[in-house]
Amino acid sequence: MQAIYLLASTSTSGVLTRHLKPAGFQCEVVETAQQIPVHDERTGLATVLCSTIGDLLECHHPSLTPVYFCESELSVEAMLQALANGAADCWAASMSAEQLRERADALLNRVEQKKMATGLRAEGDDQHAAARLSTLEQELQEDQRAGQSIQLGMLPKQNKVMAGYRFSRWVQPSLILSGDFIDYFPLQDRYLACFLADVAGHGASSALLTVMLKNISWRLQQKFGLPSFNSPGDLLAWINETLIGQSIEKHVAMFLGIIDTHDDTLHYSMAAQYPPALLCKPDGNTQLLQQQAKPLGLFSDARYASEQLPFPAGSTLLVFSDGVMDCLPADQFADKEAALVALSQSLPEPLKIWSRLCESLKNLDDVSLLAVQRERSA
């Protein structure tokens, strides 16, 4: 049953109720327009009878259908004034019961048509919005896949052998794009450089920074050997200065290693690198490489130490991004580190280590692995 709300100021509300109930209306008296339940435009429209222009003005709401009710003879002037102030129709006490019911029936039909039109329009808006959202999502996925293709193209060749050292890399993003980046390349005639960088966060903003890191790789090859560019610590200091100068508002953890192929020595430096890098030796011992240093891109006064150690024949250097910790059992970080060492010792090939880690991937963070293997002596 369609409800009609009568403001208490309408003195003939009792007569109206008797006339309108047979036409299928439920009449309810309210003190003010604010007491009328506000209906959602898609589900219902309430009709309210107003006997003054002030009452009409109070009923300006999409879910209300105000009707001006004149308790005396309805003049043309009063009708025009009511319609100009938002009335959907004008009724008068001088109308017969039959006339009131006819006007009420006509109004009910208009209200139902308005409800249907509003619902269809809202449904159309929803369908249009859904279609637009679907298009935008598809475009975003296409852009991300294109970005992923570019990122993969920037990574160095897999299983690249240089001067008796085999370099391998694996990167598994938590999303389509990755904030982890790996590179390796020769420096001059006797040195080989490699690094693993882990940009804070993941997704598009972090992935964009990997493009800058690729450019940094090229610039390192040009600068190495110049004054203040002789050690991994010098190079990290320069990268830190470069990132700060770009105001990227992202910090980067990094392991940077330089191998001297003349004496098979690994020189390395770290910036907030975690977990520790591992040097797995052929005798079964594993050496943890770790330093306490600030991340790149945040602190202009940061200093990065360089350390060195022999790289025995048959040894493997393993560098992981911190996302690997989510792939390991145990709750405490110390236990996770122990599990990572045990895994690295139990599986001789980096590919097998990576495959085992992938079995426990949770896609909570980007996960990457840089491996450098020195060939065994003849």
Residues 36 and 88 in one domain: yes
Residues 68 and 217 in one domain: no
In a domain, 48, yes or no: yes
Three-state SS across 158-205? Answer: CCEEECCEEEEEEEECCCCCCCEEEEEEEECCCEEEEEEEEECCCCHH
Could you say which DSSP state residue 248 is in?
Answer: -
Phi, psi of 52, rounded to the nearest 5 degrees: -135, 160
Residues 225 and 279 in one domain: yes
Q: What is the pLDDT of residues 164-192, one digit of tens each?
A: 999 999 998 877 777 889 999 998 889 99
For the segment 64-85, the average pLDDT, to the nearest whole number, is: 71
Q: How far apart are CA 80 and CA 90, in angstroms?
A: 9
What is the dihedral sign for C-alpha 103, 104, 109, 111?
Answer: positive
Predicted confidence at residue 209, as pLDDT, reads 80
DSSP string, 271-289: ES--S-EEEE-TTS-EEEE
Q: Which residue has the higher pLDDT, 350 or 141?
A: 350
Residues 291 and 201 in one domain: yes
Pairing between β-strand 64-70 and β-strand 89-92 as defined by DSSP bridges: parallel
Domain that holds residue 366: 155-374
Query: Is residue 224's pLDDT more than 90?
Result: no
The answer to whether 287 and 308 are in contact (CB under 8 A) is no
Predicted confidence at residue 87, as pLDDT, reads 76
Q: How far apart are CA 60 and CA 360, in angstroms?
A: 60
Highest average pLDDT, of 131-140, 287-296, 356-365, comes from 287-296
Q: Which residue has the higher pLDDT, 240 or 4?
A: 240
In a domain, 209, yes or no: yes
The answer to whether 230 and 136 are in contact (CB under 8 A) is no
The share of the chain scoring above pLDDT 90, in percent, equals 33
Question: End-to-end alpha-carbon separation of the chain, Å?
Answer: 96
Predicted confidence at residue 314, as pLDDT, reads 95
Residues 89 and 224 in one domain: no
Q: How far apart are CA 251 and CA 217, in angstroms?
A: 17
Q: What is the mean pLDDT of the chain?
A: 80
CATH code where residue 107 lies = 3.40.50.2300
Taking 3-state DSSP, the helix, strand and coil percentages for the chain, each rounded to the nearest 5, stand at 40, 25, 35
Query: Is residue 17's pLDDT more than 70?
Result: no
Q: Which of 33-42, 88-97, 225-234, 258-267 has the lowest mean pLDDT?
A: 33-42
Predicted confidence at residue 42, as pLDDT, reads 39
Query: Is residue 138's pLDDT more than 80?
Result: no
Q: What is the pLDDT of residues 22-70, one digit of tens each?
A: 666 677 777 776 777 655 443 445 677 677 777 777 776 766 777 777 7
Could you say which DSSP state residue 99 is in?
Answer: H
Cis peptide bond upstream of 350, omega within 30: no
In a domain, 137, yes or no: no
Highest average pLDDT, of 14-28, 211-225, 272-286, comes from 272-286
* Tokens representing residue 14 in the block: 């009792």
Q: How far apart are CA 46 and CA 66, in angstroms?
A: 8
CATH code where residue 335 lies = 3.60.40.10
The pTM for the full model equals: 0.63
Query: Maximum CA pair distance of the chain?
Result: 116
Query: Is residue 272's pLDDT more than 80?
Result: yes
In a domain, 132, yes or no: no
Q: Which residue has the higher pLDDT, 340 or 116?
A: 340
For the segment 257-270, the average pLDDT, to the nearest whole number, is: 96
For the segment 264-280, the average pLDDT, to the nearest whole number, is: 95
In a domain, 140, yes or no: no
User: How many CA within 13 A on the CB side of residue 339?
Assistant: 15
Helix, coil or strand: residue 268 = strand
Predicted confidence at residue 23, as pLDDT, reads 60
Q: What angle is formed at CA 109 by the lines to CA 106 and CA 112, rounded to 5 degrees? A: 150
Highest average pLDDT, of 42-46, 141-145, 313-317, comes from 313-317
The closest alpha carbon to 368, from 226, 212, 255, 247, belongs to 255
Name residues whose C-beta falls within 8 Å of residue 310's C-beta, 6 or more positions apart in sequence: 264, 265, 266
In a domain, 145, yes or no: no
The total domain count for the chain is 2
Residues 114 and 210 in one domain: no
